[in-house]
Amino acid sequence: MELEILEQDACEALGMGAFLGVAKASDLPPKFIHLTYRPSGTPRRKLAIVGKGLTFDSGGLNIKAGAGSMIEMMKFDMGGAAATLGAAKAIAQLKPDVEVHFISAAAENMISGRAMRPGDILTASNGKTIEVNNTDAEGRLTLADALVFAEKLGVDAIVDLATLTGACIVALGDNIAGLWSTDDTLAKDLQQAAQTAGEKYWQMPLEDKYFDGLKSIVADMKNTGPRFGGAITAALFLKQFIQSVPWAHLDIAGTVWTEKENGYNSPGGTGFGVRTLVQWVLS
Ligand code: 4TK
Ligand code: ZN
Ligand code: ZN
């Protein structure tokens, strides 16, 4: 495989203000990871898999506080990137006739004098502006620039995976992930792959009307909307960074970690997403 790591200066040159806003407070530098698998012959199709890669999510200045905030779980906030790289390892061994780009805008969401402030306005690499009304909705900021980057590669489809919202766990619990898609064929292909792989996804609506909840008077959008329907507004936010390529978003916040044996997984990280992604790429 080919590996390209974009350091902070390269991300700045590409205008990735949303991703870099999230990374500002950490002592650890952001890394934009782009790993490519190319088959030996002409690829049958070209795909991109994008994983949220927050190595730790403190919440930033909107710090995760109080019982139930799950701050002690937040090493799991790289579960999307982990699934992406896990799929890369398997795909490189299975050698399908498909070109696959594996992408993660990796960073740590922290607090310091250099932190992104609530109320800051960020400009993403597609030129859209974002009013940050909650620094803890950082995953969608990192994914925004990663999705713009993925579409520029000229792929036939993009799938992102992210431990994106607590609201998705409220909706679907810890054994079913949320699936949103702009393309019914892609949604169907993913559901077929998931069924073969033994993972559960439930398709959720991209209800355009709910984008009203993200309206800002100072920017193109806010990064968080009302509490109700929070997993849907998160998906609608991501959609702003896709132009026309078929795209699916998988919210895996509930499924990446388990405290107990549940018939599918042992305690710890579950690797959720890997099996479905590999099956989908091979299909
Ligand atoms: C994400 N936070 C949210 O969904 C808000 C909008 C309530 C802040 C989060 O921190 N994303 O980066 Br468990 C979230 C994700 C998983 C879990 C709790 C909160
Ligand atoms: Zn967060
Ligand atoms: Zn997060």
Active-site pick, 24, 52, 140, 200? 140
The domain in which residue 217 lies consists of: 2-282
**44 close to 127: Cβ distance less than 8 angstroms:** no
Distance 77 CA to ligand 3 centre (A): 5
Which amino acid belongs to residue 96?
A: P
Question: Does the CB atom of residue 134 touch ligand 1 within 6 A?
Answer: yes
E-assigned strand segments in the chain = 2-6, 31-37, 46-51, 53-57, 99-109, 121-123, 129-131, 157-162, 177-181, 201-203, 221-222, 247-251, 257-258, 268-269
Q: What are the pLDDT tens digits along the chain (283 aa)?
A: 999 999 999 999 999 999 999 999 999 999 999 999 999 999 999 999 999 999 999 999 999 999 899 999 999 999 999 999 999 999 999 999 999 999 999 999 999 999 999 999 999 999 999 999 999 999 999 999 999 999 999 999 999 999 999 999 999 999 999 999 999 999 999 999 999 999 999 999 999 999 999 999 999 999 999 999 999 999 999 999 999 999 999 999 999 999 988 888 889 999 999 999 999 999 9
Buried b (16+ CB within 10 A) or exposed e, 31-55: bbbbbbbeeeeebeebbbbbbbbbb
What pLDDT is attached to residue 149?
99
Q: How far is the CA of 136 from the centre of ligand 1 (A)?
A: 6
pTM greater than 0.75: yes
Give the pLDDT of residue 263: 81
Number of structural domains, the chain?
1
Told to judge if 64 belongs to the known catalytic residues of this protein, a careful annotator would answer: yes
Query: Which pLDDT score, from 0 to 100, does residue 211 have?
Result: 98
What CATH number does the domain containing 169 carry? 3.40.630.10
